[in-house]
C-alpha cells in the first residue's frame, strides 16, 4: 500500500464510530429516521473502503476489482435515493461530507510529518471526489431507467385497446402520435385482434392535437397492418380543422373510412358487422 494511505486505513480501522458520527453531523442529518438509515449506509461504505485498502486497492484506480464491493454499495445507495426522488446533488454531498472527519483524523495522526500530511490529504480528497462522482453517474443511470419505465407505462395507459362490441375494438389516441407510440399501438392492437378474433378496429384520434404528414403516415401504416391481419379499420375523430389540414397537405386517405365521432364510427362498425341496434319504445 502506498504510504499516504496507511494513515487512512488506520483511521477507518480504529475510529469507525467517531468517523460515522462526525460524518452524519457534517451531513446535517437531524431527522431521526433519516439519520438511522444514513448511519447504516455510512458504516457499509467505510467497511468496504477499509476492505479495499486492506486488499491493496489503489484509490487512483477505482475501476479495479479491489474496489468492486465499494462501487456496488455506492451504486445501491444511488439507486435507492433516486427511487426516493432525492437529487444527485444530495447523494454526492453526502459522500463529500466524509472528507472533514477523515481530514481531522489524518491531521492528528500526521501532525509531526507535514509533508506526509499534505500528500495524504490530497490523495484522500481526490479519492472521495471520485467516489462522489461515481454516485452521480449511477444516479443518472437510475433516474433515466425510472423515467424510461414511467414513459412506457404512460404510453400503455394512454393507448388502451378496448372492446366496444362483439367483434369491434377501439383505440382512443390521446396526445402526440410519434413512431415509437405508433409501433406500440400497432403491436397492442394486432395482438388484441388475434386474441378476440375481431373483424373491425376503430382508431379514434379525437385526442390527437394535430395531424401532419408524419402522423398520417403512421395512421396509414397501422391501417395496413390491421388489414393484413384480415380485419378492417375506421378512423374517427376527424374534426373540421383536421379535415382541412389533411386536404391542404395533400394526404391521400382514399380507401380508409373516416367518421367525425367515435359514436358515428361505432354505428358504422355495427352496421358492417351485421348488428342492428334499435331503441325500445
d(CA 132, CA 120): 18
- Collect all residues with Cβ–Cβ distance below 8 Å to 129 and sequence separation of at least 6: 96
d(CA 173, CA 171): 6
pLDDT at 12: 87
The pTM of the full predicted model, rounded to 2 decimals, is 0.53
d(CA 278, CA 281): 9
pLDDT at 1: 46
Please state whether beta strands 162-165 and 200-207 pair in parallel, antiparallel, or not at all (unpaired): unpaired
pLDDT at 201: 93
From first CA to last CA, the distance across the chain in angstroms is 94
Architecture of domain 3-153: Orthogonal Bundle (1.10)
Q: Which residues pair with 142 in a beta bridge?
A: none
For 60-86, letters b (16+ CB in 10 Å) and e give eebeeebbebbbebbbebbbebbeeee
Q: Please tell me if the domain spanning 3-153 has the same topology as the one spanning 162-272.
A: no
From the list 73, 121, 64, the residue with the least C-alpha distance to 95 is 73
Domain locations in the chain as residue ranges: 3-153, 162-272
Q: In the chain, which residues have pLDDT < 50? A: 1
Question: What's 162-272's CATH class?
Answer: alpha beta
3-state SS string over the chain? CCHHHHHHHHHHHHCHHHHHHHHHHHCCCCCHHHHHHHHHHHHHHHHHHHHHHHCCCCCCCCCCHHHHHHHHHHHHHHHHHHHCCCCHHHHHHHHHCCHHHHHHHHHHHCCCCHHHHHHHHHHHHHHHHHHHHHHHHHHHHHHHHHHHHHHHHHHHHHCCCEEEECCEEEEEEECCCCHHHHHHHHHHHHHHHHHHCCCEEEEEEEECCCCCHHHHHHHHHHHHHHHHCCCEEEEECCCHHHHHHHHHHCCCCCCCEEECCHHHHHHHHHHHCCCCCCCCC
pLDDT at 155: 61
pLDDT at 168: 92
d(CA 251, CA 213): 7
Please state whether beta strands 168-174 and 162-165 pair in parallel, antiparallel, or not at all (unpaired): antiparallel
pLDDT at 158: 58
d(CA 138, CA 76): 9
Amino acid at each position: 500500500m502506498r504510504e499516504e494511505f496507511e494513515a487512512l486505513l488506520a483511521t477507518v480501522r480504529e475510529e469507525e464510530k467517531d468517523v460515522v458520527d462526525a460524518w452524519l453531523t457534517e451531513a446535517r442529518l437531524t431527522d431521526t429516521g433519516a439519520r438511522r438509515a444514513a448511519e447504516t449506509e455510512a458504516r457499509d461504505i467505510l467497511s468496504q473502503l477499509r476492505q479495499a485498502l486492506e486488499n491493496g486497492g489503489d484509490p487512483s484506480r477505482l475501476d479495479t476489482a479491489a474496489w468492486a464491493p465499494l462501487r456496488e454499495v455506492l451504486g445501491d445507495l444511488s439507486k435507492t435515493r433516486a427511487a426516493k426522488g432525492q437529487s444527485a446533488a444530495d447523494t454526492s454531498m453526502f459522500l463529500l461530507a466524509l472528507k472533514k472527519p477523515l481530514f481531522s483524523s489524518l491531521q492528528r495522526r500526521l501532525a509531526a510529518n507535514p509533508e506526509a500530511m499534505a500528500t495524504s490529504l490530497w490523495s484522500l480528497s481526490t479519492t472521495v471526489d471520485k467516489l462522489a462522482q461515481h454516485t452521480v453517474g449511477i444516479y443518472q443511470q437510475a433516474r433515466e431507467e425510472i423515467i424510461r419505465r414511467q414513459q412506457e407505462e404512460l404510453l400503455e395507459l394512454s393507448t388502451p385497446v378496448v372492446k366496444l362490441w362483439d367483434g369491434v375494438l377501439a383505440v382512443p389516441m390521446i396526445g402526440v402520435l410519434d413512431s415509437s407510440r405508433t409501433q406500440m399501438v400497432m403491436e397492442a392492437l394486432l395482438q388484441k385482434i388475434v386474441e378476440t378474433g375481431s373483424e373491425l378496429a376503430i382508431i379514434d384520434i379525437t385526442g390527437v392535437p394535430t395531424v401532419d404528414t408524419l402522423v398520417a403516415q403512421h395512421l396509414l401504416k397501422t391501417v395496413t397492418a390491421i388489414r393484413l391481419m384480415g380485419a378492417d379499420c375506421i378512423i374517427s375523430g376527424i374534426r373540421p380543422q383536421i379535415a382541412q389540414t389533411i386536404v391542404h397537405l395533400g394526404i391521400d386517405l382514399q380507401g380508409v373510412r373516416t367518421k367525425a365521432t367515435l359514436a358515428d364510427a361505432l354505428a358504422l362498425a355495427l352496421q358492417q358487422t351485421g348488428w342492428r341496434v334499435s331503441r325500445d319504445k
